[in-house]
């Protein structure tokens, strides 16, 4: 992985190759019985998880709170699907196929979705202060939880101020995530 300053994040794995794809649903449901949005039922985190659900999901993979916020910084890159220009038939049923083949994808942060930086955290703080313009950001609920939750916002503020710290923490978090999920054998 390379950032705008060509910082390289080395990733190693000693995990065996997976013999099958990870199941979509977890074998063990994670819940703290707080709210329905805290329950983790799938092997990938749902975009609708609240901050407790994010903590449950990422701590089950061995990540700390600071590392879960760091790994969410990957949303600085790339795009996510939107309902724009989706056919009426897909809008009625919203199947996985409809979402995966959505005609429009939009960036989480529009400034430069192809450059890895700490802009995601700066944009989250601008959003929290209600200081963004229309179209500047397109966050999903899990993104917003990072600044609405006081405990997680501390890390958002740190990473917004110090890109080097973010890169270092992201490297550690990403390596832990790879180590925890590189194989489907007994991972869930």
- CA 97 from chain centre, in angstroms, equals 21
CA distance 94 to 79: 19
Query: Does residue 182 or residue 166 have the better pLDDT?
Result: 166
Query: How many other CB atoms are found less than 10 A from the CB of residue 134?
Result: 5
CA distance 101 to 105: 10
Query: Does residue 55 or residue 27 have the better pLDDT?
Result: 55
CA distance 181 to 176: 9
| pLDDT computed for residue 188 by the predictor | 40
| pLDDT computed for residue 27 by the predictor | 52
pLDDT digits (tens, 9 = 90+) for 55-98: 988 988 899 999 999 999 998 887 777 777 888 888 887 777 77
Mean pLDDT is lowest, of 7-11, 47-51, 115-119, 132-136, for: 7-11
pTM of the predicted model as reported, rounded to 2 decimal places: 0.74
Nearest-5° Cα angle at 157, 172 to 47: 70
Mean pLDDT of 17-25: 50
Mean pLDDT of 11-22: 50
Mean pLDDT of 157-164: 97
| pLDDT computed for residue 122 by the predictor | 96
CA distance 82 to 138: 9
Mean pLDDT is lowest, of 11-20, 40-49, 79-88, for: 11-20
| pLDDT computed for residue 5 by the predictor | 58
Residue closest to 82 by CA, chosen among 114, 49, 104: 104
């Amino acid at each position: 992985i390379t950032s705008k300053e060509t910082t390289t994040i080395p990733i190693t794995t000693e995990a065996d190759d997976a013999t099958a794809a990870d199941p979509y649903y977890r074998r063990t449901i994670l819940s703290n019985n707080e709210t329905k949005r805290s329950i983790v039922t799938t092997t990938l985190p749902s975009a609708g998880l609240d901050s407790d659900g994010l903590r449950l999901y990422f701590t089950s993979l061995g990540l700390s709170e600071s590392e879960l916020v760091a790994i969410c910084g990957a949303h600085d890159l790339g795009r996510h699907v939107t309902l724009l220009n989706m056919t009426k038939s897909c809008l009625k049923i919203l199947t996985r196929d409809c979402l995966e083949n959505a005609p429009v994808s939009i960036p989480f942060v529009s400034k430069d979705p192809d450059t890895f930086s700490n802009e995601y955290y700066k944009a989250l703080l601008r959003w929290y202060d209600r200081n963004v313009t229309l179209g500047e950001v397109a966050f999903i609920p899990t993104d917003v939880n990072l600044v609405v939750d006081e405990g997680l916002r501390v890390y958002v503020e740190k990473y917004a101020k110090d890109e080097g710290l973010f890169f270092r923490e992201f490297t550690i978090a990403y390596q832990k995530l790879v180590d925890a999920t590189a194989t489907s054998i007994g991972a869930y």
